[in-house]
Amino acid sequence: MKKIIAVAAALLLLPAARAHHSFSATYDSERQLRLKGTVTRIDWVNPHAYLFVNVTDPNGTMTNWAVEFGNPLELERDGWKRTSLRIGDVVAVEGVPARGDRKEAFAKSVVLDRTGQKLFVASAKPRAAAARQPAPRWPDGQIRLGPPPGKKGYWGAASASALVENAGSPIAMDRDGLLKNLADAARVAPFLPWARALYEYRQRTLLKDDPFARCLPPGGPRQFQTANGFQFIEQRELGRILVLLGGGDRNWRAIYTDGRSQGQADEVVRTYYGNSVGHWEKDTLVVDSIGFNERFWMSNGGLPHTEALHLVERFSRPDFNTLKYEVTVDDPRTYTRPWMGGWTIQWVPDEEIQEYFCEENAETTFVR
């Protein structure tokens, strides 16, 4: 019975695994670390690849370190493979240690001792951009949100790391939406006092409670900011558009364009992506969504919301390579007034969204 309880207790620790973590919450950029040791294990899994290294200190004590060294999909795009490194290789790692006393680090460089080769370096060759051309259209003239017939591609990186109100000068923040200056919080959105206090708490605690870091879906505008992009599947004959997400836990959202009316907010089943109905206004897809649950952060950086959240999103494609995303946030229980934000997203030509299951690491990497 004790063994069974021990197994159950071990399972309980799993949610704490940082499957897709906030960098700032996990690593201490103020410190540097150098390690040299023998590779004991390689986890070539999404969203973060890890190598494990036995490091012996001057006293002869051996410690096993977990070293994160990149996203396997990006590494493979740059020509690296799992076999670029082998168990038993000796490597020198320079990087940033984890916060606290965990034996974990993020590698800035990994050098193979026997050859001196620097491994897992990003390719200097820029990713090929699609040639400048107008946005593709359906035979009836309507803009296509996906690739033209016979072509591949998907929407990749967003131009902004977090949703902020379209007003005033840019707000400095890192890729996780962590403000460089917490005093800028008031400029991010017109928060009600409780919402601003909660947003600031999330910022001060380095986004440690982010549900997305536990592989929960990135509902709201955040779905268009996650790593590994997204794709629109326009099922015109079914009157719907599916948004397939390459990041997060790889789920999807349906936008109904069959002319149905929006449901009553009190009656819809509350979900991460809400109940979305869309229509075209000339070349812009306008999507109205209600029925969100409160289990996600709607943007990197920790913007709060309530079940009263109502989003109106506008998608347009001014040219082949660019998707313009604008959103109006209306949640009178969280914000003093409706407000708008948005960003652009770049087309990744001639590639498919690759497999990227957030759950992978939660199950494998941190069970040591």
Partner 1 sequence: MQRRALRLAFLLAIAIIGLPALAQQGHPLTGTWSGDWGPAAAQRTTVTFVMNWDGKNVTGLINPGPDSIPLTGIFLDVTTWTVRFEADTKDASGKMVHISAEGKLEDIGSYHRTIKGSWQQGTVKGDFKLTRD
Tokens of 368: 């040591």
**Toward partner 1, which CB reaches closer, 296 or 320?**
296
183 makes contact with partner 1 (CB under 8 A): no
User: In the complex, what is the shortest distance from the CB of residue 27 to partner 1, in angstroms, rounded to a whole number?
Assistant: 19
| Residues within window 228-267 making contact with partner 1, judged by CB under 8 A | none
From 319, 332, 364, 367, residue interacting with partner 1 (rule: CB under 8 A): 332
User: In the complex, what is the shortest distance from the CB of residue 333 to partner 1, in angstroms, rounded to a whole number?
Assistant: 4
Nearest-5° Cα angle at 265, 190 to 231? 75
Q: Which range in 46-54, 82-90, 159-167, 200-208 contacts partner 1 by CB under 8 A? A: 200-208
Tokens of 127: 């990713």
From 197, 233, 238, 367, residue interacting with partner 1 (rule: CB under 8 A): 197
Nearest to 324, CA basis, from 339, 344, 338: 344
Distance CA 16, CA 25 (A): 13
From 308, 314, 344, 346, residue interacting with partner 1 (rule: CB under 8 A): 308
Residue where the block lists tokens 């870091």: 213
Q: Which range in 26-34, 95-103, 224-232, 294-302 contacts partner 1 by CB under 8 A? A: 294-302
Q: Which range in 6-14, 97-105, 170-178, 345-353 contacts partner 1 by CB under 8 A? A: 6-14
Distance CA 360, CA 44 (A): 10
User: In the complex, what is the shortest distance from the CB of residue 144 to partner 1, in angstroms, rounded to a whole number?
Assistant: 35
From 81, 137, 236, 295, residue interacting with partner 1 (rule: CB under 8 A): 295
User: Pseudo-torsion of CA 186, 191, 196, 200, nearest 10°?
Assistant: -50
338 makes contact with partner 1 (CB under 8 A): no
From 92, 198, 286, 312, residue interacting with partner 1 (rule: CB under 8 A): 198
**Toward partner 1, which CB reaches closer, 97 or 304?**
304
Element (H, E) at 54: strand 49-56
Distance CA 301, CA 292 (A): 19
DSSP 73-108: HHHHHTT--GGGS-TT-EEEEEEEEBSTT-SEEEEE
User: In the complex, what is the shortest distance from the CB of residue 150 to partner 1, in angstroms, rounded to a whole number?
Assistant: 41
Nearest-5° Cα angle at 96, 90 to 97? 85
Is-contact 25 206, C-beta < 8 A? yes
Q: Which range in 10-18, 112-120, 177-185, 343-351 contacts partner 1 by CB under 8 A? A: 10-18
User: In the complex, what is the shortest distance from the CB of residue 293 to partner 1, in angstroms, rounded to a whole number?
Assistant: 8
DSSP 6-28: HHHHHHHTGGGS-TT--HHHHB-
363 makes contact with partner 1 (CB under 8 A): no
Q: What residues make contact with partner 1 under the rule CB under 8 A?
A: 1, 4-5, 7-8, 11-12, 14-15, 192-194, 196-198, 201-202, 205, 208-209, 211, 214, 216, 294-297, 304-308, 332-334
